[in-house]
Amino acid sequence: MKSKSTLIVGLTWGDEAKGKIVDLLAAEHHIVVRYNGGNNAGHTVAFDGETYKLHLVPSGLFHKNATCVIGGGVVVDPKVLLEEIARHEGKAVRLRQRLLVSSRAHTIWPWHKLVEALSEKHQGKGKIGTTLRGIGPAYADKANRVHAIRLGEFLRPEHLWKKVERIVEDRNLVFTKVFGEAGLDAAAVWQEYAAYGEAIRPMIADTTAYLLGAVEKGKRILFEGAQGTLLDIDHGTYPYVTSSNASAAGAWPGTGVPARAIGEILGVVKAYTTRVGEGPFPTELKDALGDQIREQGHEYGTTTGRPRRCGWLDTFAIRYAARLNGIDGIVITLLDVLGKLPELKVCTGYKVGGRTLKEFPDDPAALQEAQPILESLEPWTEDISGARSFKELPRATRAYVKRVEEIIGAPVRMISVGPDREQTIFRP
């Protein structure tokens, strides 16, 4: 029998409004699980006139019957996790009883944030433009093993204190001797983090065992990807990527659930494309049109408040991401934002050195040079935020959606025309 589980993944550089989609679909699932990234993510959920910003807790938290799981592929900043639980537990019924955090998840500590800040500063123009949340250094430690701390180690405080003391001693050599900075105080760090560990302890679980059991019982699981496919460490626009598998490929290692137990994969794109941080972005509009999209779409980072770079919908990049993830359908968000633009274009391919590329480039230098091949489509001026069915949309809007489907080669299954749950069009 085909699994009834669903995976939601961003097809571009993140910020595709996946939070809204996960919140909507959570109503039809028993479990919502985050599989990658950490609090570099910013997911927004809006209903009943209120807006909620999430970074670490799965976007299913407002559905009282859903169990929320933070999988082992996520890097957890314990302080941020506790703050986020405290901020939302008034609205998210019995959240502490419904939230499980993997004992295998790696943790973010003050030395990760400090080393990232120093390194990004030191790189100057060559920086990645990270969110400075310690994500990269925490994943680097995971791969390097020696200084890594998994959440499960909080269950053995005596062992962990000794480990923290040793790590701080090693790290302080780098902070003081290489960067000429003051080092960290191991005892002070431990005092703070031991308290976080105690508070999180009841939520720490072998989530792999839990999820495998859930699969066997036929439970419906919703996999929530953070960031987007083009930020995937292996398949994205390296080195301007995040440090985890932000494509659907991250779900298996990030949860322990085998890929074949995932039923349907929905790829989320905005009706235009954005990017935060450094790195190539072929369809970027560095003019008044780009500014107009930014203002109409409120394109400022949920996590860092940085203005997002805005540009035309890059269907060439999206088609690559769609194939890579093996998507079954597309979700288009923020379609309302495109109304009132004087012109409308989509990118259908790239030219590098006068040559039209067949495939999305694997070489960052080629991507940097890529000139987008743009196709003009008819713009619309109507306000579509009140539309609740496809046929209520203006003809030009429907033509835009159909053209996107045609180029990407997958059906558009949901369209979001505003931040609220209600502002959604479902297509069979």
Contact residues for ligand IMP, defined by CB under 6 A: 13-15, 40-42, 128-131, 133, 135-136, 226-227, 231, 240, 242-243, 276-277
Q: Which helix (H) or strand (E) holds 223?
A: strand 221-224
Q: Which is nearer to ligand IMP, 32 or 211 (CB)?
A: 32
Judged by beta carbon, residue 107 or residue 397, the one nearer ligand IMP is: 107
Contact 334, 271 (CB under 8 A): yes
- For residue 228, CA distances in Å to 13, 31, 117, 256, 391 come to 5, 21, 23, 20, 30
Residue found by looking up tokens 């049109």 in the block: 289
Q: Is 43 a catalytic residue?
A: yes
How far apart (Å, rounded) are the C-alpha atoms in residues 35 and 248? 9
Q: Which residues pair with 51 in a beta bridge?
A: 46
* Catalytic residue from among 43, 106, 112, 235: 43
Go through 78-108 and write b for each residue having 16 or more CB atoms within 10 A of its CB, e for each that does not: bbbbbebbeebeeebeebeebbbbbbbbbbb
Q: Report how far residue 281's alpha carbon sits from residue 367's, in angstroms, rounded to the nearest whole number.
A: 8
Inter-residue contact 52 to 62 (CB < 8 Å): yes
Shorter beta-carbon distance to ligand IMP: residue 42 or 197: 42
Q: Which is nearer to ligand IMP, 39 or 397 (CB)?
A: 39
Q: Does 15 participate in catalysis according to the annotation? A: yes
> Between 33 and 128, whose beta carbon lies closer to ligand IMP?
128
Query: CA–CA distance from 52 to each of 28, 205, 223, 299 (Å)?
Result: 20, 26, 20, 16
Return the number of the residue (8 or 407) whose C-beta is nearest ligand IMP: 8
> How far apart are the C-alpha atoms of 401 and 405, rounded to whole Å?
6
Question: What is the identity of the amino acid at 39?
Answer: N
Tokens of 425: 């069009």
Contact 41, 246 (CB under 8 A): no
Q: How far is the CB of 222 from ligand IMP (least distance, A)?
A: 18
Give catalytic residues, as residue numbers. 15, 43
